[in-house]
Structure 1
Amino acid sequence: MAVKSIFISGVGGQGTILAGKVITTALVNLGYDVKMSEVHGMAQRGGSVITQIRYGDRVYSPLIEKGRADVLLAFEKLEAARYVEYLSPEGTLIVNDLEMPPASVLVGKEEYPADIVERLKEEIRNMIVVDAVGVAKECGEIRAQNMVLVGVLARVMDWPKDAFVEVIRDVVPAKYVDVNISAFERGWDMGML
């Protein structure tokens, strides 16, 4: 199989690292060669966090060139705009309909753009906007928004659902397993273009 590329962008504290771990573990379990790269930046202070995942029969580098990602999975709207140049013209943007203003906005130096999703829709053919926070709250844990987004991604990529449920059982602390599986399954149901 040809190499596929997933670019994940988010803000520190959103669970992007756990999402990356679930995705890569499931793909390894499915028999793919998988490479992953993470950049944490100022994650502890709400800064940008990116994860690049490439998988296929044989992968030599985890790094994704601009314009080559099959999917951009953005945990926040501004992070989608910041990294959209990595998405291929045929790729899919999955974006969490969430605003987490960066420090420059919080201190009044800049304004958060009001129409990010509308502008992205003008240039992206395949786009899914997800209220992952709302769904996670309905599942009983706001922090499970990452698994909502992983569920959407898994459906878009046509990955087997059971492989991800199994990994969630293995890597998520026991008291959060059920809510995370529920969030994943809700995302899975939303992952159709």
Structure 2
Amino acid sequence: MKKNKNILFVGVGGQGTILASKILTEGLLQYGYDVKMSEVHGMAQRGGSVTTQVIFGEKVYSPLIEKGNADVIVAFEKSEAARCLPYLKKGGYLVVNDYEIYPVPVLIGAEKYPEKVNEKLKKAVDNIKILDASKMAEDLGNIKAQNVVLLGALLNVLNLEEVDWNKVMKGIVPEKAFDLNKKALKSGMEA
């Protein structure tokens, strides 16, 4: 790999954005990449935005991704995808969970949730994969595995299937959740 890859994870507090980033980072480290990760919790405990930036390659000096430089954005919630779209580079790839979480201003009626988000994203981005990761995870047994479904889709986009991701997850996720996450990862890679 000659050029570094910039991955931006965006979601809402409680969706598992940081866990997915940690699994990715650990796997990349084990595979021999230089990796830097940075996370931002914006009122995450109250349903606020969470972003994680992961950069990997031969040599990485900073974990920060500037606007227009993300090779891939993985959005755990579709309005977060729209909000972070300026970070995606031209020709970059967008993986979106077709899922809505209403922020407090929407819940109290002060604002409206954006309409036709998926259609707008499809018009703005050539390389886009929209999947219902939440439903896929729920069908597997627990909606909380949506993060690993999305991680699986990302690994497919990056062609990183050669890493033993199940082994990586085994050291990170709780033992009682391992089988579910193993299925979720496979589901996302096949989506």
TM score, norm. by length of structure 2 = 0.98
Where structure 1 has 5 or more consecutive residues not aligned to the other structure, the ranges are none
**Does the alignment pair 1:133 with 2:162?**
no
Q: For 2:10 and 2:164, locate their aligned partners in 1 and report how far apart those are by CA, in whole Å.
A: 23
The Cα offsets for residues 57-79 of structure 1, whole Å up to 9 and x where unpaired, read as 00000101111100000000010
2:159 equivalent in structure 1: 158
Partners of 1:53 and 1:122 in 2: CA distance: 26
TM-score if structure 1 supplies the norm length? 0.97
Matched letter for residue 121 of structure 1: K
CA distance, structure 1, for counterparts of residue 186 and residue 13 of structure 2: 24
Equivalent residue of 1:13, what SS? coil
Instruction: Summarize the alignment of residues 7-156 of structure 1 with structure 2, pairs less than 5 Å apart.
Output: 7-156=8-157
2:77 corresponds to which letter in structure 1? E
Deviations 1:63-116 (A, max 9, x none): 011111000000000100010100011100000000001111011110001201
Tell me the secondary structure at the aligned position of residue 95 of structure 1. Answer: strand
**How many percent identity over aligned positions?**
51
Paired positions, count: 190
Distance 1:45 1:123 in 2: 30
The structural deviation recorded for 1:161 is 5.0
Query: Which runs of 4 or more aligned residues in structure 1 lie more than 2 Å from their structure 2 counterparts after TM superposition?
Result: 160-163
Tell me how far apart the structure 2 counterparts of residues 131 and 94 of structure 1 sit (CA, whole Å).
11
- Pick closer, same or farther for the CA change 1:161–1:99 going to 2, 3 Å: farther
